[in-house]
Amino acid sequence: MRRRTSRLTHRRPPSIILRVTPQARPLEDQVAVVTGASRGIGRQIAIDFAKAGAHVVVTARSSENAPSRLPGTIEATARQVEALGRQALAIPVDVTKEEDIQQMAERTLKEFGRCDILVNNAAISAPAPFHETPLKRWDLVMNVNLRGPVMCMQAFLPSMIERKSGRIINISSILAEEVIPPMVSYSVSKVALEKLTQYAGQELKQHGLPVNCLRIEMSIATEGWMYRNPGMDFSDWEKPAAASEAPLWIATQPVDWTGNVVTIADARQAMGKAAEAKAGVEDLRQLRPQ
């Protein structure tokens, strides 16, 4: 399927090639906060940021004290970060709860003194036709996927503005652009997240705080997707690692590059990668009710 170019991207990414090696770690001693990091893409982002030299605050609902039916906990991810020689702080957070987010920010600033990178990755989906979607379920999707990032950004921005340092990376999806009817609530939340990125990027530019968004345009076989869709064939889907190099690339861009929505293919092209991201729209269409 032909890769679609994001209509929301302000301009093409700068041609900077990123190579992470033990000798050259672009995020050396930076502090990254990653939401939804107990499994899937969030966990992989946390690990890759640690490989790039960052200390990582690992947040999600799933912890050893409150395990999920799905594999993965924040403590397990934190141990993987520490195994790479980086500091890790595991904080249980429900991004729909303002008190959880405030405590997350307070603990991060107390432990590390700053947040250099905030990655808003936590998200949920609730596939259903629009007219059959209960408002309670609609509100939950919006609270996790949109209100959660808003509260996380507002929790860390005062300290970032004071330091005139920090950046925010929001994680979106091709469903912000493609129309797949069962995914209406998820899609609407991602459209709004991308628009939030554009506005925040412009407003915070005066403070030297870049805000950008990654639109994942490939199918990623995360634990959540596989658990909720047991009948699907995931053999051609990508592993979470395929989506984690792009956030790392975004985290290394100049501070005046802000308010952009880019795809994995955009980042790979800028990094000089020949591989193209696999389009995942046809795979996602399998979610349509029969």
Q: What are phi and psi of 169, to 5 degrees?
A: -125, 120
What's the burial of 175, exposed, middle or buried (CB within 10 Å: 0-12/13-18/19+)?
A: buried
* Nearest-angstrom CA–CA distance, 120 and 165: 17
Q: Is the dihedral of CA 216, 218, 222, 228 positive or negative?
A: positive
Active site annotation includes 186: yes
Amino acid at 242: A
Strand, helix or coil for residue 5: coil
Strand, helix or coil for residue 153: helix
Question: At CA 167, angle to CA 144 and CA 74, rounded to 5?
Answer: 50
CA 69 to chain centre: 22
* Nearest-angstrom CA–CA distance, 261 and 190: 11
Q: What is the DSSP string of 86-137?
A: --EEEEE--TT-HHHHHHHHHHHHHHHS--SEEEE---------GGG--HHH
Catalytic site residue from 186, 237, 249, 257: 186
Contacts from 63-69 at CB under 8 Å and sequence distance 24+? 63/38, 63/90, 63/92, 65/92, 66/92, 68/38, 69/227
Please list the active-site residues.
Answer: 186
